[in-house]
Amino acid sequence: MNANQYPFSGFTASLSSDLTPHLFATGDQGSAAASVPSAIGRIAHGSRDASGEGAVVDFLIQAETDADVPVREALLDRAMGPGRRRKSSEKLRRGRLPAQGLAFVARDASGAVVGTVRLWDVRLGDAGRRALLLGPLAVDPTIKSAGIGSALMRHAVAEAQQLGHGAILLVGDAPYYARFGFDALKTGSLSMPGPYERHRFLARELIEGWLDGASGVLAAAGRKAKPEPQRAAA
């Protein structure tokens, strides 16, 4: 493996000279099945889960656009239900924009949005360092075993690291997120601004030592969203 290649959960990834990632779907023979120029983004080929069940789906990961927002919200409602808006993480997202360059969607072969993940700027305590909060991560429930969630996670982490961020935090299932390098080893002195399960409060450092000594309640630190214009009365 040369300096410009690295394993990507069943995919082979390479970095071009402009540092734009390209992904190639690989089969048993290891040949590149598809490639996408940097202007489009990353392409990946979904795989079956460990049990051999699940769909095989071709999908593309791209930056989210304004046109994706209503579709993304509908997907989140289907995947997570109406209670998603009551989670403590939502307090850190409400009225804010995602971190610059860190909102992504996965599209299937027809262009439909089938997955989403965003990262948000947060502050670690009153005078703490900045970090990122990841979530929500969601995939269309009809194709949840196609590898889309894993590809979105790895893409999001890689992009955050390339942009120079120091750490990513999230609230989620520890066994699932462990495969992406997340654990609770450095979140013991940190807390979310609302009810949450402490054993599900996880982090991954992108810069070694970034979370050393971090303590306090996470606070929103991102760009504020513009308020939606009020509709005139009929």
pLDDT digits (tens, 9 = 90+) for 170-225: 999 999 999 999 999 999 999 999 889 999 999 999 999 999 999 999 999 989 99
**Residue in the structure block whose two tokens are 């502050």:** 123
β-pair type (130-134, 167-171)? parallel
CA 166 remoteness from chain centre: 15
Q: Where are the alpha helices (DSSP H) in 11-147?
A: 69-80, 88-93
Question: Among 37-41, 75-79, 206-210, which is the least confidently predicted range?
Answer: 37-41
Closest by CA position to 106, among listed 68, 56, 55: 68
Reported as a pLDDT band with limits 50, 70 and 90, residue 132 is: very high
Reported as a pLDDT band with limits 50, 70 and 90, residue 87 is: confident
CA–CA separation, 136 and 90 (whole Å): 9
Reported as a pLDDT band with limits 50, 70 and 90, residue 158 is: very high
Give me the chain's average pLDDT, please. 78
For residue 168, the model assigns a pLDDT of 98
3-state helix/strand/coil string of 23-63: EECECCCCCECCCCCCCCCEEEECCCCCCCCCCCCEEEEEE
Is the CB of residue 23 less than 8 Å from the CB of residue 5? no
CA–CA separation, 142 and 111 (whole Å): 16
Q: Give the mean model confidence (pLDDT) for residues 50-71.
A: 79
Q: Token pair for residue 165?
A: 């961020």
For residue 230, the model assigns a pLDDT of 55
For residue 44, the model assigns a pLDDT of 53
Find the length of the chain: 234
**Does the pLDDT value for residue 43 go beyond 80?**
no
DSSP bridge pairs for 96: 224
For residue 13, the model assigns a pLDDT of 33
Q: Token pair for residue 5?
A: 């290649």
For residue 20, the model assigns a pLDDT of 32
Q: Give the mean model confidence (pLDDT) for residues 113-142.
A: 94
CA–CA separation, 231 and 49 (whole Å): 47
Alpha carbons within 13 angstroms on the beta-carbon side of residue 55 total: 13
Closest by CA position to 80, among listed 133, 143, 134, 141: 141
Question: Among 30-34, 101-105, 138-142, 174-178, which is the least confidently predicted range?
Answer: 30-34
Question: Among 54-63, 92-101, 166-175, which is the least confidently predicted range?
Answer: 54-63
**Does the pLDDT value for residue 54 go beyond 70?**
no
> Counting beta carbons within 10 angstroms of the beta carbon of residue 125, is it exposed (0 to 12), middle (13 to 18) or buried (19 or more)?
middle
DSSP state of 125: S
CA–CA separation, 118 and 171 (whole Å): 13
CA–CA separation, 75 and 64 (whole Å): 14
For residue 46, the model assigns a pLDDT of 55
CA 112 remoteness from chain centre: 18
**Does the pLDDT value for residue 50 go beyond 50?**
no
**Does the pLDDT value for residue 21 go beyond 50?**
no
Reported as a pLDDT band with limits 50, 70 and 90, residue 79 is: confident
